[in-house]
Structure 1
Amino acid sequence: MSVLGALPLFPPTNWWNADISQAPVDRGSASFINFIGATRTMHPDFGGDVSPGSVGIYGFPYIVVDSAVPAVAVQFQYSTESDGVNHTTGQSYPFYPIPVEAISQPHWIEGGDPGNVDLRGSSDRHMLIVDGDHRYLYELYNVFFDGIQWRGGSGAFFDLNANGHRPDTWTSADAAGLAILPGLVRYDEVFGSGEILHAFRVTVRATNGYVYPASHRAGNTAGALPMGARLRLKATRDLSAFRPEVQKIFRAMQRYGLIVADNGSDMYVSGTYESTVG
Structure 2
Amino acid sequence: MACCRRLFAALVLLLAAAAQAEPPPRFPPGAVWHQDIRDAPLHPDSAAMVATWVGLGGFGYGRMQIDFSFHVVRAGDDAPLRTILAYPSAGSYYSPDCEAPGTAMPVPADAAIEGQAGLACDNANGDCHLLVVQGSRLYEAYRANASGTGGLQAQCLAVWRLDRTYPASNRGEHCTSADAAGFPIAPLLFNADEVHAAMQQADGDLGHAIRFILPNARMATTLVGGVRRPVYVRPASHAGGPSGPEGTIPYGARLRLRADFPVGLYPPAAQVILRTMQRYGIVLSDGGNIALTAESDRYTEHTWASLGITSRVFDQAVPAAPVRAQDFAVLDTGPRIVETYDCVRNPELVDPYGLVARTLRVGSGRRELTSLAWQGGAERVDIHAGTELVAMVDNTGAFTAKPRPRGTPWRVCSAGTSACSEAAAPMSDRYLHAPKAPRKTLPGRNQD
Normalised-by-shorter TM-score class: 0.7 to 0.9
Q: Cα distance, 1:254 vs. partner?
A: 0.3
Would the aligned equivalents of 2:192 and 2:304 in 1 still touch at CA under 8 Å? no
- Provide the rounded CA distance (Å) in 1 between the counterparts of 2:157 and 2:102: 12
Q: Tell whether 2:113 aligns with 1:109.
A: yes
Q: Hey, what does 1:162 align to over in structure 2?
A: 164
Q: Say which of 50, 66, 90 aligns to 1:44.
A: 66
- Provide the rounded CA distance (Å) in 2 between the counterparts of 1:15 and 1:99: 30
Q: Tell whether 2:250 aligns with 1:250.
A: no
When residues 31 and 45 of structure 1 are mapped into structure 2, their CA distance, relative to the original with a 3 A threshold, is farther
Q: Which secondary structure state, in structure 1, belongs to the residue aligned with residue 270 of structure 2?
A: helix
Q: Tell whether 2:279 aligns with 1:264.
A: no
Would the aligned equivalents of 2:140 and 2:157 in 1 still touch at CA under 8 Å? yes
Q: Which structure's residues are more often strand, by fraction?
A: 2
Would the aligned equivalents of 1:213 and 1:228 in 2 still touch at CA under 8 Å? yes
Q: Which structure's residues are more often helix, by fraction?
A: 2
Q: Say which of 70, 77, 83 aligns to 1:60.
A: 70
Would the aligned equivalents of 1:72 and 1:93 in 2 still touch at CA under 8 Å? no
Would the aligned equivalents of 1:84 and 1:95 in 2 still touch at CA under 8 Å? no
AA aligned opposite 1:175: A
Q: Cα distance, 1:75 vs. partner?
A: 1.7
Q: Cα distance, 1:93 vs. partner?
A: 2.7
Q: Cα distance, 1:187 vs. partner?
A: 0.8
Q: Hey, what does 1:221 align to over in structure 2?
A: 244
When residues 82 and 66 of structure 1 are mapped into structure 2, their CA distance, relative to the original with a 3 A threshold, is farther
AA aligned opposite 1:84: E
Question: Cα deviations across residues 212-234 of structure 1 (Å, max 9, x unaligned)?
Answer: 12111112532332211101101
Q: Tell whether 2:223 aligns with 1:212.
A: no
- Give matches, 1:125-274, under 5 Å: 125-131=128-134, 134-147=135-148, 149-164=151-166, 165-192=170-197, 193-194=200-201, 195-206=205-216, 207-208=219-220, 209-218=231-240, 219-222=242-245, 223-265=247-289, 268-274=291-297
Q: Count how many residue pairs are aligned between Structure 1 and Structure 2.
A: 250
TM-score (norm 2): 0.53
Would the aligned equivalents of 1:71 and 1:98 in 2 still touch at CA under 8 Å? yes
Q: Hey, what does 1:4 align to over in structure 2?
A: 22
- Provide the rounded CA distance (Å) in 2 between the counterparts of 1:101 and 1:22: 43
Q: Percent identity?
A: 31
- Provide the rounded CA distance (Å) in 1 between the counterparts of 2:131 and 2:95: 20
5+ residue gaps, structure 1: 47-58, 86-91, 103-107
Q: Hey, what does 1:53 align to over in structure 2?
A: none
- Provide the rounded CA distance (Å) in 2 between the counterparts of 1:31 and 1:71: 49
Would the aligned equivalents of 1:81 and 1:171 in 2 still touch at CA under 8 Å? no
Q: Cα distance, 1:113 vs. partner?
A: 4.6
- Provide the rounded CA distance (Å) in 2 between the counterparts of 1:196 and 1:178: 18
- Provide the rounded CA distance (Å) in 2 between the counterparts of 1:190 and 1:101: 24
Q: Which secondary structure state, in structure 2, belongs to the residue aligned with residue 225 of structure 1?
A: coil
TM-score (norm 1): 0.83
Larger Rg: 2
Moved more, 67-76 or 16-25: 67-76
Question: Cα deviations across residues 157-187 of structure 1 (Å, max 9, x unaligned)?
Answer: 1111112221111110001010001111211
Aligned-residue CA RMSD (Å): 2.1
AA aligned opposite 1:112: Q
When residues 116 and 238 of structure 1 are mapped into structure 2, their CA distance, relative to the original with a 3 A threshold, is closer
Would the aligned equivalents of 2:180 and 2:285 in 1 still touch at CA under 8 Å? yes
- Provide the rounded CA distance (Å) in 2 between the counterparts of 1:19 and 1:76: 39
AA aligned opposite 1:217: A
Q: Cα distance, 1:36 vs. partner?
A: 2.8
Q: Hey, what does 1:88 align to over in structure 2?
A: none
Q: Cα distance, 1:82 vs. partner?
A: 4.6
Q: Cα distance, 1:17 vs. partner?
A: 0.8
Q: Which secondary structure state, in structure 2, belongs to the residue aligned with residue 75 of structure 1?
A: strand
When residues 101 and 237 of structure 1 are mapped into structure 2, their CA distance, relative to the original with a 3 A threshold, is closer
Which structure exhibits the higher relative contact order, with contacts defined as CA atoms closer than 8 Å and separated by 6 or more residues?
A: 1
Would the aligned equivalents of 1:191 and 1:245 in 2 still touch at CA under 8 Å? yes
